[in-house]
Amino acid sequence: MVDVIVGDDGVSRCTWAAVEPETTYHDTEWGFPLTGDTALFERVCLEGFQSGLSWRTILTKRENFRAAFAGFDVEKVARFTERDVERLLGDAGIIRHRGKIEASINNARRASELIDAEGSLESFFWRYAPAAEHIPGSMTLSEDSTRLSKDLKKRGWKFVGPTTMFALMQASGMVNDHAYDCVTRPTVAAAIEDYLALQ
């Protein structure tokens, strides 16, 4: 079970959120329902770039990523060319990994296709949200994240393995993985409940 840590402000949070920039991200973003195609596409890309690295690395470079990837606008990134790949490989403000850069461009093209077929990334991704809760911190992947990963791979997406997709689910509110004693857990639970009630 995930423990909590009490910060200098006297607030109990998930242990990984003890210091900035993780604290603000934890309190205001992680686990809250993520909606909209741009936001979901950005998160898929950043989770892919995070693979093998710390999330702190991604957080500190997030604004650079947004500038480099045209605000993660699906249609704009889908039109990136080899010239853009070379530009990105020369950008010290992001993670310069050719495979991850090319995967993000490929995934923009696949995302455009998926939006045409399904109506939105939001409606597609959220259908994989699990129906039942689990013990926070008890897993790094799930049957649902494995099914999502397989479906995306069939559609030609890359860097979308089951563990990466579970991290996406945690971050985007499909799974509430805040520790039981974390101050943010009930707020996230209420936000998810409100989101689902509107669907």
Length of the chain: 199
Q: Is 4 helix (H, G, I), strand (E, B) or coil?
A: strand
**Among 22, 42, 47, 122, the one annotated catalytic:** 47
Q: Which amino acid is at 42?
A: E
Asked if 55 is an active-site residue, the reply is yes
CA gap 24, 26 in Å, rounded: 5
86 is catalytic: no
Q: Which two tokens stand for residue 67?
A: 């500038």
- Selecting among 29, 55, 102, 195, the annotated active-site residue is 55
Angle at 78 between CA 75 and CA 79, to 5 degrees: 95
Q: What is the DSSP code (8-state) at residue 33?
A: P
Q: How many CB atoms lie within 10 A of CB 124?
A: 20
Both tokens of 24, joined, read: 């603000």
Which of these is catalytic: 25, 30, 128, 157?
Answer: 25
Catalytic-residue membership of 180: no
Contacting residues for 131 by C-beta, under 8 A, at least 6 apart: none
Gap between the Cα atoms of 29 and 173, Å rounded: 9
Catalytic residue set: 25, 47, 55
